[in-house]
Amino acid sequence: MAHRQDQQRRASIHDVASRAGVSAATVSKVMAGVITVKPENAQRVLEAVEQLGYRVDPLASDMRRAKRRIIGAIMPEFESEFFGQMVTQLEGLAEQRGYTLVAASSRESEAREKEILARMHDWRVAGVVLAPVRNEHGPAAEFMKANGMTGVLIDRVLSDDAFDTVSADSAAASAEVARELIAKGHRHILVVGLGEQAATVRARLDGFRTAALKLAPDVRIDVVLAETGVEPLRAQLREYFAKGERPTAVYSLFLKGTLVALSEFRRRGWHCPNDISLVGFDDAEWMQVTWPAIAAVVQPVRQIAGHAMEALFARIEGGEGPAIARLEPCRVLMRESVGSPGVAAGGGQSR
Amino acid sequence: MAHRQDQQRRASIHDVASRAGVSAATVSKVMAGVITVKPENAQRVLEAVEQLGYRVDPLASDMRRAKRRIIGAIMPEFESEFFGQMVTQLEGLAEQRGYTLVAASSRESEAREKEILARMHDWRVAGVVLAPVRNEHGPAAEFMKANGMTGVLIDRVLSDDAFDTVSADSAAASAEVARELIAKGHRHILVVGLGEQAATVRARLDGFRTAALKLAPDVRIDVVLAETGVEPLRAQLREYFAKGERPTAVYSLFLKGTLVALSEFRRRGWHCPNDISLVGFDDAEWMQVTWPAIAAVVQPVRQIAGHAMEALFARIEGGEGPAIARLEPCRVLMRESVGSPGVAAGGGQSR
DNA sequence: GTGAAAGCGCTAACAT
DNA sequence: ATGTTAGCGCTTTCAC
């Protein structure tokens, strides 16, 4: 059993050194795993460490180094499954390399995003994984550039010339959604999104439109894009339907949009898929247990996190070269919320 | 505009000092807002700070202090709305007091929980907000006690004699659920939960049972408690229904249980509320947009976070006295998933 | 192989 | 009011 100096001041490297009868420098070497220490001494150090319950103070240790072994992660929010999983993944990957992840939420505010980045710079983090609120051209990326910070951009980005980027292959996934909807016979489709998320929304919209028009030149694609915020989107959507528009399917480009669409369907008494079909970008656990289950594009969180960290550490360890942009393939899960127009679904809905 | 030493080594307190023609100590005082500095000098310091883009290194600054201005937060997971909101709240509250929140996920593992705590101790955090995997008696709380760490326990706890605790008033909320279900005429109710979360589950179950039996002594309450993990719960639930049991309502004591219940209903082709009613502890955004909307107990995240931080900082600032246990009142949202047995719901479900 | 010395960037006592 | 001194706990030359 290790005896600890409970409640007391924690043992420092000097305590260990004197107990082991060596210098602090030697203890430091043993802790760092340097092999040039006489086995006998190493043994005594290890014993002292055990007896005193000594542990290296990571912050003090980092003081002397150039970069601290801390990775900063900035997400637009923590409340959704996607970003929750992302943080969990990033945390694990950082840990594996002996780094600590410090995560912060920009709460969908670019101003706050920049403040957090400044704080992370103060902390002299080794690198940052930034999921920007809008896109790769925000003030945060600017700040990172201006201050020579090393970082990787993820999610709401396409590519950048200063930083590596990793995101879901929005265009390809959207094209697949288009194929599915067209194949089911949909010829009037509404796409909803948030203009704020510029590049990503563009990619998703273009990917969808291009594929859809190619397969069915006569398809009508309406677009409701709110510039900013979920509530304005709700209002615009309500207005759109109030005009009497009656698409047979809705493709939502982001999770909150899917929720808004569902709640607008509720208001009007429409059921999926009989009255209207629905597919959303971003999957969530609940989508497979509701009736009907909601079709969704599943983003490969693990791959995004993995490749982001890979790229980040490559840069931290001095990797040079032009910024690379990765697109990770998504899976499209066509569930019960999608049907064919004019064909009542069997099973679930009607009783 | 501030001129920064872009890319270069960041300005240190000495750079500022020499540029302002004062000593580092004076700069330190100015930065700390000490008023005993001659206005003229303070002015020059501020100018130098501006010109060099100087910012205090919070870690270096903390080296000299007893406690570091870091708060650790340990959550069982980041993927659910509840803990996501919790982290967001805690982050904001820590920030307000000039502290940085470092959040970590124990991934529902007590072993990992303890490891993280040890790491936080290494970091010499000023305090910890711990949402334990099981309850207040786990190895993590033990570790905190043994090492004289200051902390607050939240969520899956009731009370403790070593640490302040803050959690939802599970018993009261469950009693309200019982009242609602009994009032609707339910006399055969299934409660599902996770035994792991001992104290909390007990409180929820007892609160429910006591209230229900008081109002309707003839009520039959079945209980399916998996000891550990969601999948075993699913299996037990399946077995329960396979026996031909047919309660008119299900009360799930935690979010994942609600999802499992819904998916089991799906398997059997049961709809809420006509075939069976459902209420779950823990609300989520999607629950109000599905059809039917799912009834839920809403935990007061802000209050829990707020009071937890209040208690924590009181201790950090030397507050003595016996540990207090706070219970925060919940709201119960009875939505469409709850009906009366034998009475078909109007509107939504049938078409 | 090992230890003494010199800091990392900052703050807190103590003089002045 | 300000500067000097002495570290916080650690790592890292660089002699020995």
- Kindly report, residue by residue over A152-185, the tens digit of the pLDDT: 999 999 999 999 999 999 999 999 999 999 999 9
B29 in contact with nucleic chain D (CB within 7 A): yes
Q: What is the pLDDT at residue A1?
A: 37
Question: How does residue A133 score in pLDDT terms, banded at 50, 70 and 90?
Answer: very high
Q: What is the pLDDT at residue A6?
A: 42
Q: What is the pLDDT at residue A228?
A: 84
Interface residue B254 vs chain A (CB under 8 A): no
B contact residues 127-146, partner A, Cβ 8 Å cutoff: 146
Among B126-140, B148-162, B245-259, B336-350, where is mean pLDDT lowest?
B336-350
Judge contact between A282 and A297, C-beta under 8 A: yes
Cis? peptide before B322, omega within 30° of 0: no
CA–CA dist A83, A76 (Å, integer): 8
pLDDT digits (tens, 9 = 90+) for A176-191: 999 999 999 999 999 9
CA–CA dist A44, A48 (Å, integer): 6
* Contacts of residue B25, Cβ cutoff 8 Å, sequence gap at least 6: none
Tokens representing residue B252 in the block: 């799930």
Counted across chains A and B, CB pairs separated by less than 8 A come out at 143
Residue boundaries of the structural domains of chain B: 2-52, 62-168+301-328, 170-299
Taking C1' of D11 and every protein CA, the nearest residue is A64
Q: How far is the CA of B336 from the C1' of D13 (A)?
A: 72
Task: Output the CATH code of domain A170-299.
Answer: 3.40.50.2300
pLDDT digits (tens, 9 = 90+) for A88-109: 999 999 999 999 999 999 999 9
Q: Which of B262, B252, B268, B330 is nearest to B292 (CA)?
A: B262
Burial class of A186 by CB neighbour count within 10 A (0 to 12, 13 to 18, 19+): buried
CA–CA dist A137, A24 (Å, integer): 48
The count of other CB atoms within 10 Å of the CB of residue A18 is 13
Q: How far is the CA of B122 from the C1' of C10 (A)?
A: 20
Judge contact between B100 and B94, C-beta under 8 A: yes
CB-side neighbour CA atoms (13 Å) of B277: 28
What is the greatest pairwise CA distance in chain A?
86
Among A208-217, A293-302, B76-85, B196-205, where is mean pLDDT lowest?
B196-205
Instruction: Say how far residue A134 (Cα) sits from the centre of its chain.
Output: 13
* Contacts of residue B343, Cβ cutoff 8 Å, sequence gap at least 6: none
Tokens representing residue B294 in the block: 């799912």
Q: For residue A262, what is the nearest residue in chain B, using CA coordinates?
A: B289
The pTM assigned to this predicted structure is 0.94
Interface residue B9 vs chain A (CB under 8 A): no
The count of other CB atoms within 10 Å of the CB of residue A219 is 17
Q: What is the pLDDT at residue A5?
A: 38
Q: What is the pLDDT at residue A344?
A: 72
C-beta atoms of A147 and B100 within 8 A: no
Interface residue A84 vs chain B (CB under 8 A): yes
Interface residue B148 vs chain A (CB under 8 A): yes
Q: How far is the CA of A312 from the C1' of C7 (A)?
A: 29
Q: Do domains B2-52 and B62-168+301-328 have the same CATH topology?
A: no
Phi first, then psi: what are they for A295, rounded to 5°?
-70, 145
DSSP B103-142: EEE-TT-HHHHHHHHHHHHHTTEEEEEE--SS-TTSHHHH
Mean pLDDT of A113-118: 97
Interface residue A90 vs chain B (CB under 8 A): no
3 state SS of A25: helix
CA–CA dist A58, B341 (Å, integer): 60
CA–CA dist B200, B193 (Å, integer): 10
Closest nucleotide to A63: CA versus each C1': C8
C-beta atoms of B147 and A102 within 8 A: no
Q: Which residue has the tokens 């709850």?
A: B338
Q: What is the pLDDT at residue B1?
A: 36
Q: Is the pLDDT of residue B29 over 50?
A: yes
Pick the CATH number of A2-52 from 3.40.50.2300, 1.10.260.40, 2.30.30.110, 1.10.10.60: 1.10.260.40
Question: How does residue A66 score in pLDDT terms, banded at 50, 70 and 90?
Answer: confident
Instruction: Say how far residue B212 (Cα) sits from the centre of its chain.
Output: 28
Q: How far is the CA of A306 from the C1' of C16 (A)?
A: 59
Q: How far is the CA of A132 from the C1' of C5 (A)?
A: 46
Q: How far is the CA of A84 from the C1' of D6 (A)?
A: 46
Q: What is the pLDDT at residue B166?
A: 98
pLDDT digits (tens, 9 = 90+) for A249-286: 999 999 999 999 999 999 999 999 999 999 999 999 99
Tokens representing residue B40 in the block: 């003229």
Q: What is the pLDDT at residue B137?
A: 87
pLDDT digits (tens, 9 = 90+) for A35-54: 899 999 999 999 999 999 99
- Give the N- to C-terminal CA distance of chain A in Å, as an integer: 66
Share of residues in chain B with pLDDT > 70 (%): 95
Mean pLDDT of B147-172: 96
Mean pLDDT of A193-208: 88
Interface residue B59 vs chain A (CB under 8 A): yes
Q: Is the pLDDT of residue A345 over 90?
A: no
Q: What is the pLDDT at residue B294?
A: 98
Q: Which of B54, B66, B59 is nearest to B9 (CA)?
A: B54
Q: For residue A105, what is the nearest residue in chain B, using CA coordinates?
A: B88
Nearest chain B CA: its distance from A217 CA (Å): 34
pLDDT digits (tens, 9 = 90+) for B233-290: 999 999 999 999 999 999 999 999 999 999 999 999 999 999 999 999 999 999 999 9
CA–CA dist B100, A118 (Å, integer): 13
C-beta atoms of A79 and B100 within 8 A: no
Question: How does residue A9 score in pLDDT terms, banded at 50, 70 and 90?
Answer: confident
C-beta atoms of A100 and B102 within 8 A: yes
Q: What is the pLDDT at residue A143?
A: 96
Q: What is the pLDDT at residue B79?
A: 97
Q: Which residue has the tokens 């410090």?
A: A102
Q: Rounded to 5 degrees, what angle do the CA atoms A171, A173, A175 make? A: 70
Q: What is the pLDDT at residue B9?
A: 78
C-beta atoms of A148 and B68 within 8 A: no
Q: Is the pLDDT of residue B205 over 60?
A: yes
Judge contact between B150 and B211, C-beta under 8 A: no
Mean pLDDT of B326-334: 98
Partners of residue B60 in chain A, C-beta under 8 Å = 63
Chain C: nucleotides below 7 Å from protein CB are 1-5, 7-13
Closest nucleotide to A17: CA versus each C1': C3
Partners of residue B271 in chain A, C-beta under 8 Å = 291, 351
Tokens representing residue B300 in the block: 């007061």
What's domain A62-168+301-328's superfamily in CATH?
Response regulator (3.40.50.2300)
Taking C1' of C1 and every protein CA, the nearest residue is A37
CA–CA dist A163, A322 (Å, integer): 8
Judge contact between B157 and B135, C-beta under 8 A: yes
For all residues of chain A together, what is the average pLDDT? 93
Q: Characterize B92-115 residue by residue with b for buried, 16 or more Cβ atoms within 10 angstroms of its Cβ, and e for exposed.
A: bbbbeeebbbbbbbbbbebebbbb
Higher-pLDDT residue of B127, A64: B127
CA distances from B338 to A48, B83, B222, B258, B294 (A): 63, 26, 18, 13, 8
pLDDT digits (tens, 9 = 90+) for A304-333: 999 999 999 999 998 899 999 999 999 999
Q: What is the pLDDT at residue A346?
A: 53
Nearest chain A CA: its distance from B112 CA (Å): 11
Nearest chain B CA: its distance from A124 CA (Å): 8
Q: Which of B113, B151, B112 is nearest to B132 (CA)?
A: B113
Nearest chain B CA: its distance from A290 CA (Å): 7
For all residues of chain B together, what is the average pLDDT? 93
Burial class of B153 by CB neighbour count within 10 A (0 to 12, 13 to 18, 19+): buried
